[in-house]
Amino acid sequence: MFERLGWKDREWAQILGKASVDMMFYFARAELEVDRSIIMDNTFNPVLSVPKFNDLKNQYGADSIQIICTANNKILFERFKARYESDNRHPGHGDEAVLKGFWEHLISGYSPFLDIGGSVIEVDTIDFAKVNYQEILKQVKSLLAK
């Protein structure tokens, strides 16, 4: 979206971010409409997204599995900082402005869990080498078989 609509500051990045999530829900609805399963990946804002997920659940009888990747706040902050400093992200994200308040956001009681019912699989990502991807897949398959 940055390449199509341009970029300038963090406020604009947030507007485009909300539009991107709206598009995600639009396409999710289109897939559910024709009885297809979906996978959505994002750091969803609960205030904006929980009502949309609940609408999908109510309209299509959709169930959910949340895979929540966790680590301690220090690691999350350092990962975000390293991503910002790597120059691998589009500058339109405005990560410099985010970095300044990210620590406060983490320690404010932020939770990645969405109150949308369904199942939750929590994955400790403090050490990626210890993540058992086969076990996660096994859990997802088990939940889908129910």
As a whole number of angstroms, the distance between CA 49 and CA 18 comes to 10
Mean pLDDT of the chain: 93
The answer to whether the CB of 64 falls within 8 A of the CB of 53 is yes
Query: Is pLDDT larger for residue 96 or for residue 33?
Result: 33
The reported pLDDT for the residue numbered 93 is 85
Query: Is pLDDT larger for residue 91 or for residue 19?
Result: 19
- Domain of residue 50, residue span: 2-145
The reported pLDDT for the residue numbered 45 is 87
The reported pLDDT for the residue numbered 31 is 98
pLDDT in tens, 89-140: 888 888 888 888 899 989 998 888 999 999 999 999 999 999 999 999 999 9
The runs of H, that is alpha helices, within 34-132 are 46-60, 73-85, 95-107
Instruction: Report CA-CA distances (Å) from 79 to 1, 85, 113.
Output: 24, 10, 20
Query: Any idea which of 13-22, 51-60, 119-128 has the lowest mean pLDDT?
Result: 13-22
Q: Per the structure, how many domains does the chain have?
A: 1
The helix (run of H) or strand (run of E) holding residue 133 is: helix 133-145
Q: Per residue in 41-73, is it b (16+ CB within 10 Å) or e — as a string? A: eeebeeeebeebbbebbeeeebebebeeeebee
The reported pLDDT for the residue numbered 79 is 95
- Please name the amino acid found at residue 13: A
As a whole number of angstroms, the distance between CA 68 and CA 107 comes to 18
- Please name the amino acid found at residue 20: S
Q: Which of the 8 DSSP states describes residue 66? A: E
The CATH number of whichever domain residue 135 belongs to comes to: 3.40.50.300
